[in-house]
Structure 1
Amino acid sequence: MSEPKKSGSREDRKTRLTVLVALSANLLIAVAKAIGGLIATSPALLSEAAHSVADSLNEVFLLAALHRSRRPADRQHPFGYGKERFFWSLLAAVGIFVMGGCFSFFQGFEALTQPAAKESHTGYVVGLVVLGVALLAEGASLIRAVLQVRAQPGKGIGSDPALRTVLAEDSTAVLGVLLAAGGMVLHMVTGDIVWEASASLAIGVLLVFVAYRLGKSAREQLIGEAVDPELRAGILEFLDEQQEIDYVASLYTMRLGMDSTLVAARVDLTPGIDSERLELVSERIKDAIQDHWPEADQVFLDVVEVPQRVRD
């Protein structure tokens, strides 16, 4: 059981470094975008500044998630604190919606309804330079997140909510920079503020969509998400193969954290097993499940008499 924890700690260190890289990039970019947006009086660039501020705050949430989710189990939380990861990821999704999406909508509507500010060609050049630098920084952070995801075969982006959030943030940041730059260039060429306002509104829509998807995933994990169907099928097949088990009445699973899974099965044993052997059989099956699937660290078997097998 010690090896999965070491492996999980190594993955946490990689994820923490990925989050720190994204946080550093976003803090610098947020300041640069805000200054450039004020100089150019650009709603699209100011929307991107709010986007970067939201991402920075969210990455602080994710660092808290990485730290708090590794606390050991105690009397009040006998299954540990693994779901802290999902809770802080939900807060990050809310932050993207409120700080990024809502502010972008505000900037877009204000640009459409308020008298146009005096345009500064120099300011717009500065703004575009800022966006170019931001694109390089966000792109570098995105590449690191993608490489870490690709290094997790069989798990993918859904395995770590912190890594999933960083990847979603970096992806939307790159797309947001391109939208803002496009809006600014079209505004400069046509002299029509509607292009920048539209870019700001598009950034808002993008952020709201990403926040919804991240929040939906975190919600499912918080209320008790089952393991992948392949993992459940493997455990069920393993139980079926045990000669001491006659029927598998039901099998329930739930993710408790990144490397912690609850497995609860109701089984009917073959006739003739006495109480002393029952305990030995139960412990052997539990140990075998944990050996095959180390993440299944909480295994419970309930012996019952059932008339037929129920798989779902």
Structure 2
Amino acid sequence: MNKKDRKTRLTVLVALGANLLIAAAKAGAGVLAGSPALLSEAAHSVADSMNEVFLLAALRRSRRPADQRHPFGYGKERYFWSLLAAVGIFVMGGCFSFLQGIEALGSHEQESTGGYIVGLSVLGVALAAEGGSLLRALYQVRGQAGGIGSDPALRTVIAEDGTAVLGVLLAGAGMALHMVTGQVVWEASASLAIGLLLVYVAYRLGKEARDQLIGEAVDPELRRSIRALLDEQPEIDNVADLLTMRLGLDSTLVAARIDLRPGLDSEEVELVSERIKASVAKEWPEADHVFLDITDAPPDEPHHTGSHHTGSTPMDSHHTEPHVQT
């Protein structure tokens, strides 16, 4: 496990410890007070705890080395476990909160606010714990290249902690208004608002994980930089096509179809191919799988900037194997 992963693992463990502690406190106080908002928050913390277990699994499993069955490695495990975490937030947090809110709205009995002082005190402790965990995650983002979007595990922790802070504030406001007005509708509304918040966060996290699992290209700026480097090579006549895909947190596939200038023999083609691959990997170490489909421009044909030759012949027989530069 590298240094970045160790920091992320510590951040996840801090969040897990905080969530387990406050989930138990919220559940106990929620049962004692009979508060739907507090019970919704307890379910929220349980969901977050389960999700952090998923994220710990992602950190460990995504670093397994490539093998014959998975030649590109296991980097996408992070996105799979992040998708499970999003489902957990939706089912265990969002749906339970909706049920609590709807049940409270449909209740015709006079709701007691006995024990709410204890419940509000628990929410105060939870706010401090969740806020501390959020600050820890944000501090890591500040010192990490790529920011919040680079690591799905860290992104999920920040989303969970940020949502938890908002959820605590909503639950506290609903409970306080219930105490002041005697109307349970305030607390029921808080439960429904917490449910909506969790469903939205689950949708965003799930969408991002889905995009990465399907296979998402690198950002346009990085793609332009790679293409510019290829265009600068004196032996390249034309870059007919450039495809990229993120394979994991620090693993990227780069596949380019390029036309070489006329007159290169097979030995020169091989040397040029290796040098270009090495240049790409040196400039972007995460580009650990570089493939070049090389074709030779027809003799005496003027240089062009158009599309790929329709009658070109592959000249790089070794491009079908991953080429890794370290």
Conservation of the 8 A alpha-carbon contact between 1:94 and 1:211: yes
Conservation of the 8 A alpha-carbon contact between 2:111 and 2:184: no
Show the 5 A alignment for 1:48-127: 48-116=41-109, 118-121=111-114, 123-127=115-119
Show the 5 A alignment for 1:68-217: 68-116=61-109, 118-121=111-114, 123-153=115-145, 155-217=146-208
Report the Cα distance in structure 2 between the residues aligned to 1:118 and 1:282, rounded to whole angstroms: 75
Per-residue CA deviation, residues 111-148 of structure 1 (Å, 9 max, x unaligned), is 00023364143x10000000000000000000001111
Report the Cα distance in structure 2 between the residues aligned to 1:267 and 1:308, rounded to whole angstroms: 11
- Percent of aligned pairs sharing the same letter: 74
Report the Cα distance in structure 1 between the residues aligned to 2:70 and 2:141, rounded to whole angstroms: 30
Amino acid at match of 1:288: S
Report the Cα distance in structure 2 between the residues aligned to 1:117 and 1:225, rounded to whole angstroms: 53
Conservation of the 8 A alpha-carbon contact between 1:41 and 1:117: no
Show the 5 A alignment for 1:23-34: 23-34=16-27
Amino acid at match of 2:125: V
In the TM superposition, what is the alpha-carbon distance from 1:150 to its structure 2 partner? 1.3
Report the Cα distance in structure 1 between the residues aligned to 2:75 and 2:150, rounded to whole angstroms: 13
CA distance 1:132–1:310, shift in 2 (3 Å): farther
In the TM superposition, what is the alpha-carbon distance from 1:308 to its structure 2 partner? 4.1
Local SS of the residue matching 1:73:
coil
Conservation of the 8 A alpha-carbon contact between 2:148 and 2:154: yes
Conservation of the 8 A alpha-carbon contact between 1:116 and 1:193: no
Question: Does residue 1:266 correspond to 2:257, yes or no?
Answer: yes
User: Partner residue of 2:11?
Assistant: 18
Unaligned runs of 5+ in 2: 298-303, 309-326
Report the Cα distance in structure 2 between the residues aligned to 1:303 and 1:292, rounded to whole angstroms: 21
**Higher RCO (Cα < 8 Å, 6 or more apart):** 1
Aligned-pair RMSD on alpha carbons?
Answer: 1.3
Which TM-score applies when normalising by structure 2? 0.91
Conservation of the 8 A alpha-carbon contact between 2:82 and 2:153: yes
Local SS of the residue matching 1:71:
coil
User: Partner residue of 1:5?
Assistant: none
Report the Cα distance in structure 2 between the residues aligned to 1:163 and 1:309, rounded to whole angstroms: 43
CA distance 1:13–1:301, shift in 2 (3 Å): same
Per-residue CA deviation, residues 82-107 of structure 1 (Å, 9 max, x unaligned), is 00000000000000000000000000
User: Partner residue of 2:222?
Assistant: 231
In the TM superposition, what is the alpha-carbon distance from 1:309 to its structure 2 partner? 3.9
In the TM superposition, what is the alpha-carbon distance from 1:152 to its structure 2 partner? 1.9
Which TM-score applies when normalising by structure 1? 0.95
Question: Does residue 1:44 correspond to 2:37, yes or no?
Answer: yes
Per-residue CA deviation, residues 31-57 of structure 1 (Å, 9 max, x unaligned), is 000001001100000000000000000
Report the Cα distance in structure 2 between the residues aligned to 1:118 and 1:180, rounded to whole angstroms: 16
The count of corresponding residues between Structure 1 and Structure 2 is 302
User: Partner residue of 2:232?
Assistant: 241
Local SS of the residue matching 2:64:
coil
In the TM superposition, what is the alpha-carbon distance from 1:291 to its structure 2 partner? 0.6
Report the Cα distance in structure 1 between the residues aligned to 2:113 and 2:207, rounded to whole angstroms: 42
Show the 5 A alignment for 1:295-310: 295-304=286-295, 308-309=305-306
State which structure, 1 or 2, has the greater radius of gyration over its C-alpha atoms: 2
Local SS of the residue matching 1:304:
strand
Per-residue CA deviation, residues 143-176 of structure 1 (Å, 9 max, x unaligned), is 00111111124x1211100000000000000000
- Report the structure, 1 or 2, having the larger helix content: 1
